[in-house]
Chains A and B, each alone.
Chain A
Amino acid sequence: MTFAISLLPGQQLAALNQAYRRAVARKRLRVTLGAAVFFAALVVASVGAEVNLRTLFTYFGHFVSYFDRILTLENGGRVWTDIGEWFWGWRKWSFYLGETILISYVGTLSGAVLGFALNFLAAENTSPAPWLRFVVKRFMEFCRTVPDIVFALIFVIAFGLGPMAGVLAITIHSVGALGKQYMEMVENIDMKPVEGVRSTGAGWISCMRFAVLPQVTAGFASYTLLRFEINVRGASVMGFVGAGGIGQELVVAIRKFYYSDVSAILLMIIVSVFVIDIGTGWIRGRLFGRDRRA
């Protein structure tokens, strides 16, 4: 079976073809130019970062064999052949792991409380005064742009070595990050309940409590749980600068080449991050589920 496809007259076709080619050529030129600029930036960057491919190729074997070494016990056997020997320090490590989780819990909770107090001042639709909104927003921006470990470095000097510095660093970072997420959520609420409450003569605080809060509680809880999970990861390295938690043990193990300890501690961190990931996911599902039923 054959079909006759009707073609446009040659002249019209040529014009269309030309227009198409021109459009494609312009797009290709733009992509090529963008790629060229990007590659130039990459080359400059690799000079700046002292990239040395020969070093990489020479030592890449070391990277692979590093994992071989951290999975080998001192007596030469594989780690999983003697779990007791592999996790010889599990009491100590579980203690520090618990401390890590406690650091992120306390830090997240106090950050959440402060962020909660600040976000209503920063949200466009609830802020009492524009200048206050500006100040609070800049403050939160500062809190989340400076990395938490930099705060930890400074706090270690001010408050002394120990988990306290880690908690405060995580608190400050959480204020910035959670405050912003809370604020965006408050900016998206339905304003009708607020008007309703205000029309009964309520003050600002009552408006927030009875009109805004019921709309955002579940979302706030969800963001807080997510932040807790992120903070557990963050707290696991706070020990690198002396701010408490499992990081101290890990950095000692890595620097002193206690290979099997490295893998044991890393495994414990990964597993606990997994567990917390799944746990907070479950709680968030329950929270939103209950919300939908109500």
Chain B
Amino acid sequence: MSKLPPPDSDGLRARYPTLFDRPASARLATPLMLLGAFGIFAFGLVHLGFSPARMLSGLHQLGWITMMMIPPDPGSSLPLYLRALGETLSIALLGTTLAAVFALPVSLLAAKNIVPTNFIRFPVRRFLDSIRGVDTLIWALVWINVVGLGPFAGVLAITVSDFGAFGKLFSEAIEGADQKQVEGIRASGGGPLHEIRFGLLPQVLPVIAGQVLYFIESNTRSATIIGIVGAGGIGLQLAEQIRVLEWQKVSFLILMILVAVAAIDWISGKLRFAIIGKRAVV
């Protein structure tokens, strides 16, 4: 067997100076960034009051709570919980639908191929962005101030916060639509409204339907939490039971939420594929 010649380090070094003698800034960049990230992390731990003792006693408590949660047991309030779950699903369905209905016309205003001037598009987009910047829970608090406690406030909260998200998603779907069909309608003498109705909508409706279904699914999750501030649904029961330390009921409610979310996931997945085929919803 022939031996490989010994590596010619000096020659290699001369040929690839950038690999052997990287400037100090390039060599130090990654460790410095990591150090900085870790520094902020450590500062955060101290500032936010983490301590091993608190962690240990907390974990001890948590272990105890978990023990108390087994087995999950609704006690005598199963019908109440089922009704609350129905309420949550209703909130998600209604809120998402309303948001989609309101967002569709606005999203046309935010789409580049419908409204070419920046003059209208820019304020509409910023408006949608600021709505999205506010969390659903905050909207729920605001609506509770307006229509009072109860699931209706939840519906309106989900409507408003999804309105922002839908406006953006729909306008992106519209911008991604093929212009050839619109031009075809124009060539055969259709007006602007005809272009939207027969050229754009058939292309974007399946995409929009897919997005709406996906949001119904994710809103089932959001709808469970807006109850925590008093906007109805199963979150209200959950927050109450946590506050009175009825851990068996808590674990039962969490299980109910998990099962409901999984079921909705499954159904909407099936429906989505039936509507748009095996295409990813983005």
B94 adjacent to A42 (CB under 8 Å): yes
User: Which residues of A (101-117) have their CB < 8 Å from a CB of B?
Assistant: 102-103, 105-106, 109-110
How far does the Cβ of A51 sit from chain B's closest Cβ, in whole Å?
6
Interface stretch, picked from A11-19, A123-131, A194-202, A229-237, is A229-237
Chain A residue total in the interface (Cβ 8 A)? 59
How far does the Cβ of A49 sit from chain B's closest Cβ, in whole Å?
4
Which residues of A are found within 8 Å of B142, using beta-carbon distances? 63, 66, 254
Which residues of B are found within 8 Å of A41, using beta-carbon distances? 93
Give the size category of B's interface with A.
Answer: 35 or more
Contacts known (A49-B151, A150-B238, A270-B133); A162 close to B49, Cβ less than 8 A? yes
A59 adjacent to B147 (CB under 8 Å): yes
B45 adjacent to A106 (CB under 8 Å): yes
A-B pairs with the 7 shortest C-beta distances? A48-B90, A45-B90, A159-B58, A106-B44, A158-B61, A270-B133, A49-B90
A158 adjacent to B58 (CB under 8 Å): yes
B48 adjacent to A150 (CB under 8 Å): no
Which residues of A are found within 8 Å of B49, using beta-carbon distances? 162-164
Question: In the complex, which residue of chain B has the Cβ closest to the Cβ of A70?
Answer: B142
Contacts known (A49-B91, A158-B65); A164 close to B54, Cβ less than 8 A? yes
Which residues of A are found within 8 Å of B143, using beta-carbon distances? 63
Pick 23 A–B contacts, CB within 8 A, sort by A.
A44-B90, A48-B86, A48-B151, A49-B155, A50-B232, A55-B148, A63-B146, A102-B44, A106-B48, A109-B37, A146-B254, A147-B221, A149-B228, A150-B242, A157-B245, A158-B61, A164-B48, A167-B48, A236-B135, A241-B239, A244-B48, A251-B141, A255-B141
A62 adjacent to B137 (CB under 8 Å): no
Residue B40, interface by CB 8 Å = yes
Which residues of B are found within 8 Å of A55, using beta-carbon distances? 147-148, 152
Which residues of A are found within 8 Å of B86, using beta-carbon distances? 48
User: Which residues of A (252-266) have their CB < 8 Å from a CB of B?
Assistant: 254-255, 257, 266
- Partner of A270 from the list B37, B65, B134, B228 (CB cut-off 8 Å) is B134
Mostly, the B contact residues are: helix
User: Which residues of B (233-259) have their CB < 8 Å from a CB of A?
Assistant: 238-239, 242, 245, 250, 254, 257-258
Which residues of A are found within 8 Å of B137, using beta-carbon distances? 149, 237, 240
B138 adjacent to A266 (CB under 8 Å): yes
Q: A48-B86, A66-B142 are known contacts; what are 20 more A-B pairs with Cβ within 8 Å?
A: A42-B97, A50-B152, A51-B94, A62-B146, A102-B40, A102-B47, A105-B40, A109-B41, A110-B41, A145-B221, A150-B225, A150-B228, A153-B228, A154-B250, A158-B58, A158-B62, A160-B54, A163-B48, A240-B141, A266-B138
A241 adjacent to B228 (CB under 8 Å): yes
A76 to B173, CA, bound (A): 44
Per-position contact with A for B3-35: 1 when CB-CB < 8 Å, else 0?
Answer: 000000000000000000000000000000000
Residue A273, interface by CB 8 Å = yes
Residue A118, interface by CB 8 Å = no
A53 to B59, CA, bound (A): 48
Question: In the complex, which residue of chain B has the Cβ closest to the Cβ of A162?
Answer: B49
Residue A2, interface by CB 8 Å = no
How far does the Cβ of B6 sit from chain A's closest Cβ, in whole Å?
21
User: Which residues of A (129-178) have their CB < 8 Å from a CB of B?
Assistant: 142, 145-147, 149-150, 153-155, 157-160, 162-164, 167
Contacts known (A46-B94, A51-B152, A237-B137); A147 close to B225, Cβ less than 8 A? yes
A158 to B221, CA, bound (A): 23
Contacts known (A150-B254, A158-B58, A254-B142); A45 close to B94, Cβ less than 8 A? yes
- Partner of B258 from the list A44, A109, A145, A155 (CB cut-off 8 Å) is A145
How far does the Cβ of A201 sit from chain B's closest Cβ, in whole Å?
19
Residue B154, interface by CB 8 Å = yes
Question: In the complex, which residue of chain A has the Cβ closest to the Cβ of B250?
Answer: A154
Contacts known (A109-B37, A160-B54, A237-B135); A254 close to B94, Cβ less than 8 A? no
